[in-house]
Structure 1
Amino acid sequence: MAAVGECSLPAPWRPLALTHVEYPAGDFSGQLLAYVSLGPIFIIVGFVTLIIFKRELHTISFLGGLAFNEGINWLIKNVIREPRPCQEAHSAVTTKYGMPSSHAQFIWFFSVYSFLFLYLRVYLLYHTWSQVLYGGVAGSIMAIAWFAFTQEILTPLFPRIAAWPISEFFLIRDTSLIPNILWFEYTVTRAEARNRQRKLGTKLQ
């Protein structure tokens, strides 16, 4: 057991508020929506996993767009400086400004379960409807701009980038000219497996 004064520090403790989401005590809907609000973290983990195992340039570009989108959100927040609603209701938030909603901007950029996520950010009193709306508009504009940038500027450069020595070292590839990558990988893998099985059978004879 700790002695008296052993746990005291000169500075107060601060929580790492990256995933710190609060909800009204005893509110099952609020608790469920608080878990759903962690969706962007799972999306980022999914992107990193895909990049590690696929090394595909479009996936890397998509994640770069999401990161750039988050940077723009931070910039807009610090220009507008509109406070969050009911700030006293939350003990810890990552930023004190709420306009535009970074969650809404992220989700609109990613184009998934938009209505549900817009609803839960207001329900949990982290944003007003106007903050969510402007976050959605900003995310949509960023998604369109980044998609155009990827298609018009980056995609023509992908074959050259994939041929760089560093890209070859990290096995980074360009699949932009392959219409059905899943079918392509399946047929190539099946053909290679049959070829190796044939060679193995020849060696065993």
Structure 2
Amino acid sequence: MAHHPPLKAVTLTHVRYQRGDQLGHFLAWISLVPVFISLGGFVSHFIFRRELQVMFFALGLLISQFINELIKKSVQQARPETCALLEMCDSHGWPSSHSQYMFFFSMYFTLMTCKGIGFWMGVKNRWSVSSLNWSMALLTMYSRVYLGYHTVAQVFAGATLGTVLGAVWFWVVNSILFCYFPVIEESAFGRMFYMKDTSHIPNVLKFEYDNARAARKGVDCKCD
């Protein structure tokens, strides 16, 4: 029987890699990018910003993951044999949910970039950020194969499905649902939670800066 190096998990997670494998350690953290995006990105955005465009972005990711689970349960394709060593393979493998998540995110974000929604950065910086997203998506896809959680076919299936769903959902949001954004803003629910849409504003940062300065002019401030 072949001897395998002991496995080690990234702290506070169940993503495992072979002890002493520096590349595996790095890719284990890369495979957690979807978690960081969900918790650090979307949750904090809802708390502090409440932008409808981003809320529907997050909703699309949830729908995408729901579709992923439906397909997995329907196809019931097993994960690779290497996954048994990780002791975390109690679910089906096709398509890869990590790859689907990251490619959905990258496609939707890139389309937002093309349309200039919610950005204050220059064109060069916009494309730099989009390139970073695609790089992280590719690394996440590679990490799932390298760490033994998925086969190549499973991660490519997830990537393809995520890309398609990201494009379709962007079209749905910005061609159909966008018309209802003002209704949501003016609804009792929207006003209660301060929901807003600024996707029609070319430079949101400058807009907020100008309004903050204008509001300051009406405030008396006495400094001793």
- The TM-score with structure 1 as length reference comes to 0.84
C-alpha separation between the residues in 2 aligned to 1:88 and 1:177? Answer: 50
Residue 141 of structure 1 and its aligned partner are, at CA, apart by 0.9
- CA contact 1:155–1:176 (8 Å) conserved in 2: no
After TM superposition, what 4+ stretches of structure 1 lie above 3 angstroms from structure 2? none
Equivalent residue letter for 2:88? A
> 5 Å matches for 1:18-97?
19-45=13-39, 46-86=41-81, 87-93=83-89, 95-97=90-92
C-alpha separation between the residues in 2 aligned to 1:22 and 1:153? Answer: 42
2:155 aligned with 1:160:
no
Residue 165 of structure 1 and its aligned partner are, at CA, apart by 1.2
Which of the residues 174, 190, 194 maps onto 1:171? 194
C-alpha separation between the residues in 1 aligned to 2:42 and 2:192? Answer: 20
- Match in the other structure for 1:123: 146
2:221 aligned with 1:200:
yes
Residue 147 of structure 1 and its aligned partner are, at CA, apart by 0.4
Residue 114 of structure 1 and its aligned partner are, at CA, apart by 2.2
Query: 1:15-50: CA deviations, max 9, x gaps?
Result: xxx941111122111111111211111100111101
Equivalent residue letter for 2:85? A
- Match in the other structure for 1:143: 166
For structure 2, list consecutive stretches of 5 or more residues without a partner in the other structure. 1-11, 107-132
- The TM-score with structure 2 as length reference comes to 0.77
Task: Give the superposed CA RMSD.
Answer: 1.6
- Sequence identity (%): 41
Look up the SS of the partner of 2:16 in the other structure.
Answer: coil
- CA contact 2:30–2:139 (8 Å) conserved in 1: no
C-alpha separation between the residues in 2 aligned to 1:75 and 1:82? Answer: 12
Look up the SS of the partner of 2:166 in the other structure.
Answer: helix
Equivalent residue letter for 2:221? L
Residue 65 of structure 1 and its aligned partner are, at CA, apart by 0.5
Equivalent residue letter for 1:51? F
Q: For this pair of structures, how many residues does the alignment match?
A: 182
